[in-house]
Chains A and B, each alone.
Chain A
């Protein structure tokens, strides 16, 4: 945790309300998001118990598994989840924009124009917390390889028709959620915690109810009281006032209410009393609805809070990455490609890691450029400085054939960058990318004299507007302002001997 975040948390404790960590919203929030609040059954990994879902906040759909250990009921649940979710996911596939790019034919070397489709928008799924993302990934893993009645060899236990397709989408979405800066499957707690500092630990921030209690405490109450009530408050039946946002349920709910209800359901079912079984299943539904509905409202409250922040400048650009990701998966499904493998081969794993590292660097840089509070972290760490230009002196590099502009810009700053003469800096928020080096510094007076090295055009005199003027506010960073390209990797069939050769 950075010093600035620690400070913000201390301020939050004093003020009794969460403090902003961002001036803008760093994640995309769709106009038509699809919220899911999943619950998992205790005792078995990835066993669904219930889910409240939908894109209509007034009319959520409830799906339940009255006996979570029953595989048929589980897959009936997943089939209904597919019925709810797949139409939403597929609804973005039709509206496309056409992009042209020049490509060279690898064999003939001829240049041709390739037209590619990019979906105009992409779906956005919002779950309460990272545990929800993980659970959806587990659903994907347990369903994408299932055979259905339509398969040539359906096997003894065919799954409902669209269940494997749902698994492939859930797998794709949960993988995409691991790419830094992506917004296609968004866990709410970590997204909110990126934008607000509460007066509690980051572990406690993982509780959606407590987190919202800090960000928007009820009238007349302080964050810590509201959070404490959200975490520990119980009613006369011993049930939590604010049920946990899943996927795990409260053990007291399980043992006092849910388990007896499931036992009654089992009894009715084994007596083959259909009306009674249905009544018992409805009892379970009512129970689960009572613990899911409060979370449902919290999720939409969180979305509202995020929507109040203006979007950061680079969010649209990053969302385009999600649109490409969506379009790519849509095309793979349409082309009839097999489901994603259980494990990545060596080359795919390395490619994914490279992509995630590149995106992490990119999102850190873009957040710093978009948000003065994010840049302040770097300034405090001595990795950036901001200040006013107090003097500009034209100067030239005459070593080459024609003189090049190398003006000296003196900046007064109160920041203390870890920078020695000769060190390279990069201009943030300038008209174009611009490098400079520190010519000399007067640490006492806070004066840094920089020699601009690039971004001034090709002529002897710098392009108008490319050199900051006296009195202008400028900001420079010690780190480069674009992510480095990743090195090429071999094709999977060329995996070298050091990595076990090509995958079988």
Chain B
């Protein structure tokens, strides 16, 4: 069939993705530019691409270095590489105070060391950018893969670029930009602003590089891909790899009585929003408008209630991968701040819920769950700062799920947004990012409004 496609038939998602991957690999191996950039929307098979590209580059007989951003990303990658090819010797370079995780070192082919010289001859060496920066006195590698390149800062790339001749940069431009704890206006508008993302610097200095795109999200369900694509990737649209009937979230009846710590009214609302989300892929649990501290106790209780009810009722996720129960491991709670995450963890523990991932947007980047519960970054706030409006933050929180996403918030966010138009100073020479967080927030809320369940 695939050798004789009829000219009228639109390509299937699988065919689209394969064509994109083939073009990327050709460019990385033989392209005229030293760098290849791949933009990947959420869940578009970025990790699969990295593993595949790594194996093809190794097959040419060249040694390969891989740069990731965090230790857990490195461990994940090593694990995937070793699973894909048990015979492949993979070096895991790590710092003396950051021992590699068991999921990486359990494979026979994985060699861990704190010294690059020990791993120099292995076909693949993986480490964080922070660790690579300290590697000295070694001949450069011919090929490198830089994973999560949009979260890598330009100055980190400056410190590691001497280690390789050619590189494949893979990342999601819609996620959180790298940040600095100090002001960086001194360099705003310079091509090599050290605080911007590595890819922005690379593209500014190498105008011949045209980014490739992965066109299909395999993670996001058909209910989420169009919204995320329109709201966060308006100029580089993507589609879902599955159709609307392919994924089903079946919930048990709302009969188990709520535990003692959970107010009956809140439990009813949580059940209702879960039903809405199971049906449509989205749910908005709305508390009455109120200005609160960051760790708004009522909003935190509502988040915990949704998670607790979901686990108490029991759910079953049916997808192209088969059918599996939605247990604690497959659920995540996302917040904007660490103290909010800590408050949710405490509230869940009080309800006897364990094993659910609760983390900030920064730490949920690159992760995937069946159901996510999100505390809206603007909930209860008197103002909309650049931090809370950042496009990437909302995008990460709203694109971690395979089945459904429930957003918990105080009412009144559209009014808050209207009262706080973006007022960041315009810097000469800085390319404006579209869409801005203000617009993306409005787009997402407009969609969520149709799946709204009020509390109380």
Q: Which residues of A contact B (CB under 8 A)?
A: 3, 178, 180, 343-347, 349-350, 352-354, 356-357, 360-361, 381-382, 418, 487-490, 494-500
Contacts and interface: CB of A to CB of B under 8 A. Distances in A.
B293 A3 contact: yes
A382 B340 CA distance: 11
A344 to B, nearest CB: 7
B37 to A, nearest CB: 11
Contacts of A353: 155, 180, 182, 184, 187, 194-195
Nearest to B295: A3
Interface in B300-337: none
Contacts of A498: 35, 157-158, 161, 167, 198, 201-202, 205-206
Interface in B16-34: 34
A422 B84 CA distance: 33
Contacts of A180: 182
8 contacts: A350-B154, A357-B181, A487-B130, A487-B133, A488-B136, A488-B159, A489-B158, A490-B162
Given A499-B192, A499-B201, A490 B158 contact: yes
Contact of B161 (A345, A356, A357, A497): A497
A391 B233 CA distance: 58
Interface string B165-199: 00100000000000011111011001111110010
A418 B340 CA distance: 11
A360 B182 contact: yes
Interface residues of B, number: 37
B186 A178 contact: yes
A487 B184 contact: no
B339 A381 contact: yes
Interface centre among A346, A381, A497, A498, by most chain B C-beta atoms within 10 angstroms, is A498
Interface of B: 34-35, 130, 133-134, 136, 154-159, 161-162, 167, 180-184, 186-187, 190-195, 198, 201-202, 205-206, 293, 338-339, 342
A494 B162 contact: yes
Given A180-B182, A344-B186, A381-B339, A487 B293 contact: no
Contact of A352 (B130, B186, B206, B342): B186
Contacts of A418: 338-339, 342
A357 B180 contact: yes
B138 to A, nearest CB: 14
A349 B155 CA distance: 9
A361 B180 CA distance: 11
Nearest to B345: A418
Contacts of B161: 496-499
Contacts of A345: 192
A497 B34 contact: yes
B159 A489 contact: yes
Contacts of A178: 182-183, 186
Nearest to B136: A488
A499 B202 CA distance: 6
A489 B161 CA distance: 10
Among A345, A487, A494, find the residue whose CB has the most chain B CB atoms closer than 10 A. Answer: A487
B186 A497 contact: no
Contacts of B167: 498
A346 B194 contact: yes
B158 A346 contact: yes
B134 A487 contact: yes
Contacts of A487: 130, 133-134, 156, 159
A348 to B, nearest CB: 9
A3 B136 CA distance: 45
B342 A497 contact: no
B86 to A, nearest CB: 31
